[in-house]
Amino acid sequence: MEIATKCPICESLGNAVPVYPSNVDETSFSTEIFSARRLPDRRHYQWVRCNKCTLLRSDPVLDVDLEKLYVESTFDYSTEVDGLKKTYFNLVKRALGGKKFKKSIFEVGGGNGFFLEAAKDGGFATVAGVEPSTEAIKAARVDIAPHMIASMMKAGVLADNSFEVGTMFHTLDHLTDPVSTLKNCAAALQTGGVFVVAIHNERSWSARLMGERSPIIDVEHTHLYTRKSGEALFKKIGFIDVRSGAYNNHYSLAYILHLIPISRSFRKRVLESPIGTLLSKIKVIVPLGNMWVAGTKP
């Protein structure tokens, strides 16, 4: 069944212009497609741009049990975890500005909790993860696993007013109801606490260059943000001192190849060959069109 979606920022229903037509059918929904870091195959719903606030959203969408798909999703970050740990830890430091928080931090949708490893190793005393995939939690480091909660982020999953920092990396753009998830995240923060997300920037050079063939134009993404619409969403939640910025990724050349819109079978062959192994060892810093948005709980 098709469901019309509403803009989460201005709450318009309709009042949008089509940008890319849908190419989705029932076979687009498998556990594999909803697993982190899979090979992008660019199935997507119709994308429309809100006339009022310019947010890009999937509309309409199919009636799919996303929670079930994410609970059953498998986990495969392979060789990129070290680069992602460095990337995310650095961007949180930047997003916190001068704030010297080291007591408590939580993460929503963090897979096996690799970022929480970086946070703990970087000096945070208390860490907590909220992650629906039980497979991912099973793969968590032994000192992180006891602090992971197998759930979607809902009211009451984390205690109210209890964390200095909250984080969500490349999860916000997957949510069907980003407003309620962000409100639940804000509730878990102490007054003065900071929430940080990392998301794609749909107006970045790479997104503009690739257009519909960009890996971000995908059935998994329900909304795609710019710095302006990302900040507008944070302000709607009630965050103050809302800021955003671009960040660069530390990635291997193998991961870059995985993102390029060429034949999926060709990419798979190269990545599984000795050349793929070599490419996975060469690390580069790349501006992939990602950004962070941060806000403070008043």
Instruction: Quickly tell me which residue has 């098709």 as its tokens.
Output: 2
Interface characters, 115-154, with Zn ion (x: CB under 5 A): ----------------------------------------
CB of 64 to Zn ion, least distance (A): 23
Residue number with CB closer to Zn ion (9 or 294): 9
User: Could you give the CA distance from residue 153 to residue 114 in angstroms, rounded to a whole number?
Assistant: 18
Nearest to 260 by CA among 218, 215, 220: 215
Nearer to Zn ion, 35 or 46 (CB): 46
- Closest CA relative to residue 36, chosen from 67, 78, 83, 65: 78
DSSP state of 38: P
| List 33, 36, 50, 219, residue binding Zn ion (CB under 5 A) | 50
Least CB distance to Zn ion at residue 6 (A)? 9
Beta carbon nearer to Zn ion, 49 or 86:
49
DSSP 282: -
How many residues at the interface with Zn ion, by CB under 5 A? 8
User: Cβ of residue 10: shortest distance to Zn ion, in angstroms?
Assistant: 3
* Closest to Zn ion by CB, 59 or 80: 59
Judged by CB under 5 A, does residue 53 bind Zn ion? yes
Tally the residues of the chain. Answer: 298
Rounded to 5°, the CA angle 96-99-104 comes to 80
- Taking the least distance from each CB to Zn ion, the nearer of 52 and 268 is 52
Number of H helices, E strands in the chain: 10, 13
**Between residues 169 and 225, which has the closer beta carbon with respect to Zn ion?**
225
Q: Which of residues 55-94 bind Zn ion (CB under 5 A)?
A: 55
Please, which of residues 197-256 interact with Zn ion by CB under 5 A? none
Specify the stretch interacting with Zn ion by CB under 5 A; choose among 54-62, 83-91, 109-117, 144-152.
Answer: 54-62
Contacts of 247 (CB under 8 A, 6+ apart): 87, 90, 91, 94, 198, 290, 291, 292
CB of 9 or CB of 128, closer to Zn ion: 9
**Structural contact between residues 172 and 231, judged by C-beta atoms closer than 8 angstroms:** no
CA 109 – CA 280 distance, rounded (Å): 25
Q: Scan for tokens 């192994």, then name that residue.
A: 277
Residues 6-45 that bind Zn ion (CB under 5 A): 7, 9-10, 12
CA 37 – CA 29 distance, rounded (Å): 16
Interface positions with Zn ion (CB under 5 A): 7, 9-10, 12, 50, 52-53, 55
